[in-house]
A and B are shown apart, each in its own frame.
Chain A
Amino acid sequence: MSIRGKAYIAGIYEYPKREAADKSLAQLHGMFAKGALEDAGLTYSDVDAYYCAGDAPGLGGISMAEYMGLKLQHIDSTETGGSSYVAHIGHAAAAIAAGKCNVALITLAGKPKSTIKKGGLAMRGFGRGAPEAGFENVWGPSVVNMYGMAAMRHMHQYGTTSEQLAWIKVAASHHAQHNENAQLQNVVTVEDVLNSPMISEPLHRLDCCVITDGGGAMVVVSPEIAKTLDRQCVKVLGHGEAPKHLDGGRVDLTYTGAVWSGEKAFKEAKVKHEDIKYMSIYDSFTITVLETIEDLGFCEKGQGGKYVADGNLISGVGKIPFNTDGGGLCSNHPANRGGMTKVLEAVRQIRHEAHPKVQVADCDIALAHGTGGSIGTRMGSATVILGREDS
């Protein structure tokens, strides 16, 4: 059994704004759903499956089904943090392949930018009642110091440097200058990153992603539905997902769950690394990108620093460009969950609808990867490989 070619992404939508204080959360989900369905040439009444994660208000998608007036025969509220929406594509494709549904809607929305307290860093709130809560919450874990510990260990073990990490932000900024919706549109240099304030060692402010309101949506359909649509549909070739955690105290922060999710996705898609023309890599922090690229097998473990340096991730410069919309590092990280926007830019690349300055020539196969939770503790990793009809 495989989902290769069993489902297509028919419609996408990304909210162009980065602030949404004047909208309700349900309103945003509904607007984005409408946007993606209109892109596909479909309506609410065509939807028979709905997928959402913890950012959706109410009871696991039922509240949103009611809000949008959806009549459903399949529902999935898999919550793996920012990687949820990448996982949802695999789940939707499997459900479609099994005959459970034909048109699956996936939405993401949030407003952290307009609700965050000015000047305060959001502490990572491990839920009360989580088995690890008593052994972690007392130590002042934040989003940044968790990723900081992963970066510190990677540097120690493999000689990775802050300069190499900075190149990831530099590449993202080169792409973001062409995205009129990006939160940060200025090109930055390695020195700019290193000279930005230290947040939690070894991560500087510019090693971190942006905080934005907004979100987006996607519509995944069966091959039969795809054939009836005028819009170019993008084929789902493969998917993999895996949680990674602290393994009973056998802690290793130098790799991510991408070692498992990536291998599964490549195997299902029946493609090789050299077939990938574009990659969207989850970029909550620079270190997230570096470890993920290694774990997906684009270079040897520990060689990520050398791989990302000297502009190798920049479109038109390096081997495989990444995050040509500017990614979470510069453009958008809606609801603190970057998985959705990773897939959206991969779809644009395959449709040849990315900005002309960053469009990859003949982009027939692309990869999108999501990371949720924290690489400093426990995470959900999800990878999808997408292609043109002829791929």
Chain B
Amino acid sequence: MSEKKFKIPVPEINEETQHFWDATAEGKLLIKKCADCNEYHYYPRTICPFCMSDNTEWIQSTGKGTVYTYSVMRRSPVQYCIAYVTLEEGITMMTNLIDIDLDEIKIGMDVQVAFVDTGEGCALPYFTAA
């Protein structure tokens, strides 16, 4: 399954998340890091949810991680896998696993980001087997 069989959705973007989505068009997965408490967080916010500092910085993630959990939707015209992936930086994000045998997915498996263009100026950070 190398080609996607369902329509690529376009994310809802706002003033605070525009930079994140602009970077996806260049194949970059940005996450936020707090310069005061040094903690990463996701989804990105202006103010650190751990220490309330507004001294947060955009950092490019390695895009590598492991599957924290997943669920394959079987009752759908196109079966798909929703998942949470824990990035090397330690934070966990929701995504879909693509270009992968849906019967072979395991918790803990190594994955890496695989951007798919939405055609609307940004790309979605899917993940696939590393």
Q: What chain B residues lie within 8 Å of A134 (beta carbons)? A: 11-14, 17, 21, 43
User: Which residue of chain B lies nearest to A142 when distances are taken between CB atoms in the complex?
Assistant: B73
User: Which residue of chain A lies nearest to B85 when distances are taken between CB atoms in the complex?
Assistant: A251
Q: What chain A residues lie within 8 Å of B107 (beta carbons)? A: 152-153, 156
A interface residues, how many (CB within 8 angstroms): 40
Contact B42 A248 (CB under 8 A): yes
From 150 to 202 in chain A, residues with beta carbon under 8 angstroms from any chain B beta carbon are 150-153, 156, 197-202
Given the known interface contacts A149-B84, A153-B107, the answer about A140 and B91 at a Cβ–Cβ threshold of 8 Å is no
B interface residues, how many (CB within 8 angstroms): 41
B128 at the interface (CB under 8 A from A): no
Contact B41 A248 (CB under 8 A): yes
B64 at the interface (CB under 8 A from A): no
Contact A145 B82 (CB under 8 A): yes
Given the known interface contacts A136-B94, A149-B83, A249-B93, the answer about A131 and B69 at a Cβ–Cβ threshold of 8 Å is no
User: Which residue of chain B lies nearest to A377 when distances are taken between CB atoms in the complex?
Assistant: B94
User: Which residue of chain B lies nearest to A133 when distances are taken between CB atoms in the complex?
Assistant: B12
- With both chains docked as a complex, state the minimum distance between the C-beta of B117 and any C-beta of chain A, in angstroms: 13
Contact B96 A139 (CB under 8 A): yes
Q: Could you tell me the distance between the alpha carbons of A136 and B74 in the complex, rounded to whole angstroms?
A: 19
Selected contact of B68 from candidates A128, A144, A151, A153, CB within 8 Å? A153
A77 at the interface (CB under 8 A from B): no
Selected contact of A199 from candidates B11, B39, B41, B75, CB within 8 Å? B75
Chain A 232-268, CB-CB to B under 8 Å as 1, else 0, gives 0000000000000011111101000000000000000
Contact B71 A249 (CB under 8 A): no
11 inter-chain pairs at a CB distance below 8 angstroms, sorted by A residue, are A129-B12, A135-B42, A135-B94, A138-B124, A149-B70, A149-B84, A152-B70, A153-B69, A156-B108, A200-B74, A251-B86
- Write the residues of chain B forming the contact surface with A, with a CB cutoff of 8 angstroms: 9-14, 16-17, 21, 39-43, 45, 49-50, 68-76, 80, 82-84, 86, 90-96, 107-108, 124
- Write the residues of chain A forming the contact surface with B, with a CB cutoff of 8 angstroms: 121, 128-129, 131-142, 144-146, 148-153, 156, 197-203, 246-251, 253, 377
